[in-house]
Amino acid sequence: MADLDIQVSKMKKNFLLCFLLFCFIFSYSQRTYNEEKVNYLQNIFLADKYFENEDFAKSRDLYLLCLNINPEDAFINYRLAAIYLHFNELHLSKKYIDNCLNICDTNKWYLLLAGNIYSFCGDITKSEEVFNKLILYYPNEINYYYNLVNLYIKYRYYKKAINILSNQEYTQPLSKEIFDKTNNLSNEFDIKLNEIKNDINKNIISE
């Protein structure tokens, strides 16, 4: 009976020691997590500040630190893509905008940057896909049609550009009311259409 009491007493002591050790480890890990979170938020704040002040090198370094902690942050990937585009490091710019769109592919600012990056990289197919997605999500944003038109002009796909400006490429034509409401953009479309037709007379049409 005495031996049993001794064993029970030892078990209680071991349990208490284990419990205290667990509490210590948990408390330490929480404190470490909280410190990392504070550092992460501080670095994000500073990175944003440097970015707005166009100190892109410092901004890049801080965003990279933040990305190591939270690689699934679409905004950080977006900012890094923009920074590397500024530095003309297109392969890195493309890498981070790809990461960004894999996380979130509905944000118009992410898509707009992506379309331009792909265009600069010569990836016409991906650029076209992104600009079409922008038009699908925001059909009343006229500038997104212009982005696609300018892409086609850049790579000499003149017929495709005319199809968009003539509203032949989409099942639902653009409403003239949309154009008339904002600075006579319908007239601007007509001017753009005539410019492209004149270019076609001077250049070989590529398909």
| Per-residue pLDDT tens digits for 42-92 | 889 899 999 999 999 999 999 999 999 999 999 999 999 999 999 999 999
pLDDT digits (tens, 9 = 90+) for 129-158: 999 999 989 888 888 888 888 898 888 887
Closest CA to 207 of 159, 149, 145: 159
- Which residue did the predictor score with more confidence, 175 or 158? 158
**Which has the minimum average pLDDT: 52-66, 116-130, 156-170?**
156-170
Predicted pLDDT at 197 = 66
| Other CB atoms within 10 Å distance of the CB of residue 111 | 24
Q: Is the pLDDT of residue 128 over 70?
A: yes
Cα separation, 133 vs 136, in Å, equals: 5
pTM of the model: 0.68
pLDDT digits (tens, 9 = 90+) for 186-206: 566 667 667 766 766 666 444
